Structure 1
Amino acid sequence: MNFAGVDHLELYVGQLEEAAEVYCAGFGFRVTGRAGPETGQQGRISLLLKLGRIRLILTQSLVATDEAADYVAVHGDGVKDVAFRTEDAAAAFHEAVRRGATPVHEPRVYEGPHGRLVRATVAAPVGDLVHSFIERASPEGDFWPGRFQPVVAPASERDLLASLDHLALCLIPGTLQETVDAYGRLFGLKQSHEENVATQYGGMNSKVVQDASGGGVCFALMEPMSGKRPGQIDHFLSNHRGAGVQHMAFLTEDILEAVRVLRARQMPLLDSPAGYYEALPARVGTLSEDLEQLRENHVLVDREGNAGYLLQVFTRSVHPRRTLFFEVIQRKSARGFGTANIRALYQSVEQEMMRKERKANVG
């Protein structure tokens, strides 16, 4: 099964305008489409946001019986649909169902004066997540003919982010391998990386699955290890009330500039672990970037032998339940996921959790 990447993500949210503000004010996304009862979408309203090649649908229910209302009541705001771009949505749907996927929406054609789209949906092997198959007659056509009304967005000098790099999903303990197997069986995704992280309090097991064709579908799957106290994945599973998407990783061409802009827009970023930069030169060697600038901006670095290196920064969660957060990543000929930084990220999040616990206890 071949995919041409992630077509879009759809998030179910409780307050549409507030949720859109996080993406628009924080990252520079622009509203490029609207949908609701006036466009034939009953019981809900949606905004289409775009930045670079990233497209997000934010959807809020208008009636208590809508699926989005049920989702938000259980999970809070979160990613409901990770939609795959494919050349033949109907064929992909029927093949996935033949392999054992649970059908959600049969293939349906949407046509308009400026485009044609075929969409079909199956359940994902993770919580309440689903995967839609999207077939487009032309990438220049309307995003969703007959459903979304285009909105003329103000021009931007330069997009801060280029594309979606990967998604990280938190899983119920003991389900990591079966989820890897399910993504392979149902969608043809292959395991490419594996990492186990243990800290003084707990840890996690992680495996990465990607589409074999290199189309851009990539999931980092994580399950918690048992430990002395609940870790970040345990907290996600508790607050989200089940498995789901923990963070989105956005690709940028200039991470230092991206961080400067994010800080100016008041997007809260995670601090780097204590002592991280003292050990960095010995671990990664010579870099194009200035070490002090990396330290000032809490940018993490990982090198993959002689293949290049990557730079990463993570936001604090601005989600009401402190579940969903974001990563910004720049790749310099590196294809990995910051293996050496996975421990650093885990420690950073643990430090943030402990800081909040101390603050709450003092308060």
Structure 2
Amino acid sequence: MSIQTITHVEYHCADAAQTAADFRAGFGFLPDARQPDRVAGEHRIHVQQGTIRFRLTSADAADHPVARWVDRHGDGVAVLALGCTDPQAALERAERHGAVVLDRAGGLIAGFGDTALRFVPLDHTPAEPGELLDALDHVAVCVPAGQLADTVRFCEAALGFQRIFGEYIEVGQQAMDSSVVQSASGDVTFTLIEPDTSRRAGQIDRFIADHDGAGVQHLAFSTGDIATAVRTAKARGVQFLSTPSTYYDGLAERLGGTAIPVGTLRELDVLVDQDHGGQLFQIFARSTHPRRTFFLEVIERQGAGTFGTANIKALYEAVERQRATASV
């Protein structure tokens, strides 16, 4: 009955056709070989790359549930589909541990705010190697202050996940608390973040306000060659968050050498950190969301199994710079 993977992401948006075109143009997603769903009142498009699959849905009328979701939250992740060895048993376990069942026939439970979780059978469709991206590395979720501990407990009890990492992060007068939970398979990872409201309000507070509650802040895609992926995406018009040049000046002293040359990292604005297993490289795309409440990440792991402590702070600072620039 255990959760093995995320089979697909159900993404609600104002214009499914335009969103699909953006995914294809910037990151090389392709139409999914499976037939799109035909649902009255909805426009659905499936795109995929590697094992990453999206169901992009927009509504034909303003009173449709999808349109109401987008009106409240903006374009974003509405459902994470969790591939299980026994979806029914997974649903029953979640319900026993307090999960709210939204659609029993559809295996749907309440997850993080209005982002739901769906228990589905494992997808055994062979995945072709992606042009730039391979898999969904992790999902970052923001929750209101005071809800992090309960959210971790929900993931542990209802989903059978384990907390593998936690950190309190301070950036100037702002701060946030985070925990990482992961499935027993190791293939589903949620990074859970809450703001510290005893400090000055920051981007996590703004996410909660602008998104109108808890939800997915970003999706991280793994790649086997981040330099090529970023260089190609940039050439196709994708904009990434910049990194101060001073970040790279101290890398040699901090890490003692990097698997990707520092000059390449500096050129592409890629961040690097390491844990006991090795190094990880990551970069964050500039949000094109009108509310700045959703963005994408590209990550390459060379042995590292956790998250770069310094990079979480660097991401926070980079997003702050983007917001400051956008407000000018």
Which TM bucket (shorter chain)?
over 0.9
Of 130, 151, 154 in structure 1, the residue corresponding to residue 116 of structure 2 is: 130
Q: 2:82 is matched with which residue? A: 84
1:351 offset after TM fit, Å?
Answer: 1.8
Alignment of 1:113-262 (within 5 A): 119-124=106-111, 126-136=112-122, 139-140=124-125, 159-214=131-186, 216-226=187-197, 229-262=200-233
Q: 1:282 is matched with which residue? A: 253
Q: 1:146 is matched with which residue? A: none
Of 284, 287, 299 in structure 2, the residue corresponding to residue 314 of structure 1 is: 284
Hey, what's the Cα distance between the residues in 2 that align with 1:185 and 1:299? 36
Of 321, 326, 335 in structure 1, the residue corresponding to residue 296 of structure 2 is: 326
- What percentage of residue pairs aligned between the two structures are identical? 39
Hey, what's the Cα distance between the residues in 1 that align with 2:236 and 2:204? 28
C-alpha RMSD of matched pairs (Å): 1.9
| Equivalent residue letter for 1:170 | C
Alignment of 1:3-42 (within 5 A): 3-32=3-32, 33=34, 35=36, 39=38, 41-42=39-40
After superposing on structure 2, the runs of 4+ consecutive aligned residues of structure 1 that deviate more than 4 Å are: none
Hey, what's the Cα distance between the residues in 2 that align with 1:121 and 1:224? 28
Q: Residue 201 and residue 354 in structure 1: after superposition, are their counterparts in 2 closer, same or farther (change >3 A)? A: farther
1:339 offset after TM fit, Å?
Answer: 1.4
Where structure 2 has 5 or more consecutive residues not aligned to the other structure, the ranges are: none
1:227 offset after TM fit, Å?
Answer: 6.4
Q: Alpha-carbon deviations, 1:168-195, whole Å to 9, x = none?
A: 0111111111111111111111111111
Q: Alpha-carbon deviations, 1:267-325, whole Å to 9, x = none?
A: 110011351101111111122211111101011001113x2110001111011221110
Q: Which has the larger radius of gyration?
A: 1
Q: Is the 8 A contact 1:271 1:348 kept in 2?
A: yes
Corresponding pairs, count: 327
Once the two structures are overlaid, the 10-residue window that deviates more, 272-281 or 241-250, is 272-281
Q: Does 1:103 align with 2:101?
A: yes
Q: Is the 8 A contact 1:273 1:347 kept in 2?
A: no
Q: Is the 8 A contact 1:201 1:227 kept in 2?
A: no
Q: Residue 157 and residue 75 in structure 1: after superposition, are their counterparts in 2 closer, same or farther (change >3 A)? A: closer
Q: Secondary structure at the match of 1:57?
A: strand
Q: Secondary structure at the match of 1:5?
A: strand
What TM-score results when the alignment is normalised by the length of structure 1?
Answer: 0.86
Where structure 1 has 5 or more consecutive residues not aligned to the other structure, the ranges are: 108-118, 144-155
Q: Is the 8 A contact 1:34 1:47 kept in 2?
A: no
